[in-house]
Structure 1
Amino acid sequence: MSELTDWLLSEGFSEEQIDESFAPMLLPARRALGDDGTRLSARDIATQWDVDLERLQRILHAAGRPRSEDPDAALYLPVDSELIGYGQQCIRLGLPEEQVVAVVQVMAEGLSRIVEVMRVAALSAILRPGVSELDGAKASAALTSEVAPLLGPMIQDMLRTQLLHAMLEEEVSASERIAGRPLPGAGQVSVAFADLVGFTSLGEELPPEDLERLSQRLADLARDLAVPPVRFVKTIGDEVMLVSAEPVSLLEMLLKLVAAADADEALPRLKAGMATGVAVSRAGDWFGSPVNQASRVTGVARPGAVLLAESAREAVGDATSFDWSFAGARRLKGIRDEVKLFRARFAQGAVPRLHG
């Protein structure tokens, strides 16, 4: 510890900073992330950005920062002040305060999972057996100073990608709403999602790296089973998306995927939903009403079930390899009319046909 203390002092840290730190070894890494020891009060930040204290506290609270009863208590980091600046700019550009607060909260929740995964990865790279506190401190400072500048541009580009995806969805939805206007390149396809059951609650029990392994296991299993004409499109957190021009092949693949997950002790159970309609492919993804409908149907499916919207049930037709049961009619979010739902199973003795 004395070697670490001497090195930290030589790096410009004060004895007070070292004594007050619960983990002095991480002080250089914290400084590389912008924590130079400066602490600001809510009033300091409010004055800097000309924002009232109530709005400031709402934004900070949404970001997971403490709500202070004393506006002059020095609790906040300089990066907290920057967050308020961005939020204030968004509001001045015309975005409603409620929506800005909601965006901050959702971003904070999502980024917390990313940070936890990165924390585990960084510690495993630094805290190897036999590494001294001094060497660990130097390694963490070096790694953080190299990685930190990459994170902002990486997150910015990922956010831009998601915004473009959302705009493409809205473009397709707007085109569908205009009567008589066909979607360029659109065609009749069946779309399906398969979702790991209980994934959110597992997040409270398992470390992020184990959750990631479960998601990857599902993706690998889906890729292996998605032979033409079924196409694996993407993973979205704890679910996979698939499309096919042949609904029978897609349904057979879904049933086999759910059965394979049931037989895999390492995976939670799956539930799956399927819909058919006119959709269009853009930038490797699919957009249109059957995409939204298939996602909503998956959301109401029971564990171990493959549920079809009436559109997909009609597209599958009278194939003798399936048994059917009516699962009722439901109003699904974002869909105007009630959707009739049907549960599909392999008929007794039926052999899955996954190669068209």
Structure 2
Amino acid sequence: MLLGETPTLTQHEVADAAGVPVELANELWRLLGFPLAGEDEAAFTRADVEALRLTANLVSLGILSPDRQAALVRTWGRSFARLAEWQTALLAELAAERPGDTVEELMSLAGGVVPDLEALQSYVWRRHAASAATRLLTTAETGSAPMAVCFVDIVGYTSRSRSLTEAELVGWVEEFEDACTGLVVDHGGRVIKTLGDAVLFVCDDPVGAAEIALTVTERGDDPDDTFPAVRAGLAYGDVVARLGDVFGPTVNIASRLTAVARPGRVVVDEGAADVLTGGYSLVRLRRTSVKGYSRLQPFALRRVR
């Protein structure tokens, strides 16, 4: 049902119908994160043929060079695999709660929900594409742009997770991610990735990043707030953005600073300290040696009361 029809085509038949070498078809399939089917296994549909045709068209137009092709397809596979896992698990939970056969209920739910999910995913992609295009206009000439990068890390995640049930752990982490995402969006930032016990986000405005980091650490210090205790590392400087991720020394420094920060504290680098002046107190800490940086200069960031 999800594939649109029963698979009837082998890998060679799909490649021949799309007019591409079978080696390219298999490589794209592998980059998407799927195990290769046997040569005589009927594992594909006409939708796979169309997908290969579209890919070949993008290659012929010069849009997908070999290096871009691998990176883009790999990113697609990872992103949609995670999304599909979550959506399928959600539908399965709903189906299990209904009376009757779980498989039949799951099929019924999927039949009604999948078209709506497809439409919403297309809508969300277009909105994010519009935002990404706007940001690209400011970085097209240099390939990088100054921005604030921050890691927020849950303190004592490993020990706490051992004392929670699976449902409690999922709820705890989701509450953490939801709260961080809301704060980041409210301050004009973007969540780059969530890592279970950590969130990586960026802001064009370092003040916005500082407010997010200080707010989450303050919530973690509040005994009446269920938000977990956290620490944060924030750096400001040139960052290279590619395929939804960020790279460069600024990102590395922010990660290292997170390990330096004490629970409930925000630690920033010299780049951030230079631009965060009004309304904040910056305390120079002892220089520290971390991986890749022998004498990193951290600063403790606090609000001026």
Cα distance between partner residues in 2 of 1:93 and 1:105: 20
Note closer, same or farther for the CA distance 1:167–1:191 as it changes in structure 2 (3 Å cut): closer
Give 3-state SS (helix, strand or coil) of 1:76's partner.
coil
Note closer, same or farther for the CA distance 1:340–1:317 as it changes in structure 2 (3 Å cut): farther
Report the AA paired with residue 171 of structure 1.
Answer: A
Displacement after TM superposition at 1:302 (Å)? 3.4
1:218 aligns with 2:174: no
Instruction: Tell me what 1:311 maps to.
Output: 271
Displacement after TM superposition at 1:48 (Å)? 0.9
Note closer, same or farther for the CA distance 1:254–1:131 as it changes in structure 2 (3 Å cut): same
Displacement after TM superposition at 1:251 (Å)? 5.4
- 8 Å Cα contact 2:7-2:43 kept in structure 1: no
Instruction: Tell me what 2:298 maps to.
Output: 343
1:322 aligns with 2:283: yes
- 8 Å Cα contact 1:49-1:85 kept in structure 2: yes
Among 131, 153, 162, the residue aligned to 1:196: 153
1:40 aligns with 2:9: yes
1:78 aligns with 2:46: yes
Displacement after TM superposition at 1:119 (Å)? 1.6
Cα distance between partner residues in 1 of 2:290 and 2:102: 62
Instruction: Tell me what 1:93 maps to.
Output: 61
Query: Structure 1 stretches of 5 or more lacking a match?
Result: 1-29, 177-188, 280-290, 332-337
Give 3-state SS (helix, strand or coil) of 2:70's partner.
helix
Equivalence map 1:112-151=2 (5 Å): 112-133=81-102, 136=105, 139-144=108-113, 146-151=115-120
Give per-residue Cα distances to partners, 1:308-330, cap 9 Å, x unaligned: 33333344579876242223699
Cα distance between partner residues in 1 of 2:35 and 2:296: 46
Cα distance between partner residues in 2 of 1:78 and 1:211: 40
Cα distance between partner residues in 2 of 1:325 and 1:127: 56
The number of equivalent residue pairs is 276
Displacement after TM superposition at 1:145 (Å)? 5.2
1:300 aligns with 2:269: no
Give 3-state SS (helix, strand or coil) of 2:285's partner.
strand
Displacement after TM superposition at 1:262 (Å)? 6.5
- 8 Å Cα contact 1:297-1:307 kept in structure 2: no
1:153 aligns with 2:122: yes
Instruction: Tell me what 1:353 maps to.
Output: 304
Give per-residue Cα distances to partners, 1:37-92, cap 9 Å, x unaligned: 1321111111111111111110111112232452x332223333333222212221
Report the AA paired with residue 326 of structure 1.
Answer: R
Cα distance between partner residues in 2 of 1:134 and 1:242: 44
- Superposed CA RMSD in Å reads 4.5
Task: Say which one has the larger Rg.
Answer: 1
Cα distance between partner residues in 2 of 1:43 and 1:148: 31
Q: Is the deviation greater in 51-60 or in 300-309? A: 300-309
Normalised TM-score (structure 2): 0.68
Give 3-state SS (helix, strand or coil) of 2:7's partner.
coil
Among 3, 11, 34, the residue aligned to 1:65: 34
Normalised TM-score (structure 1): 0.59
Note closer, same or farther for the CA distance 1:328–1:154 as it changes in structure 2 (3 Å cut): same
Cα distance between partner residues in 1 of 2:277 and 2:119: 52
- 8 Å Cα contact 1:195-1:298 kept in structure 2: no
Displacement after TM superposition at 1:108 (Å)? 0.7
Query: Structure 2 stretches of 5 or more lacking a match?
Result: 194-198, 240-246
- 8 Å Cα contact 2:154-2:228 kept in structure 1: no
Report the AA paired with residue 24 of structure 2.
Answer: R
Give per-residue Cα distances to partners, 1:158-196, cap 9 Å, x unaligned: 5633651562353363698xxxxxxxxxxxx98452333
Note closer, same or farther for the CA distance 1:311–1:151 as it changes in structure 2 (3 Å cut): closer
Report % sequence identity.
13
Cα distance between partner residues in 2 of 1:243 and 1:353: 23
Report the AA paired with residue 133 of structure 2.
Answer: L
Cα distance between partner residues in 1 of 2:289 and 2:277: 18
- 8 Å Cα contact 2:284-2:299 kept in structure 1: yes
Note closer, same or farther for the CA distance 1:325–1:128 as it changes in structure 2 (3 Å cut): same
- 8 Å Cα contact 2:235-2:253 kept in structure 1: yes
Report the AA paired with residue 218 of structure 1.
Answer: C
Note closer, same or farther for the CA distance 1:87–1:116 as it changes in structure 2 (3 Å cut): same
Cα distance between partner residues in 1 of 2:85 and 2:17: 31
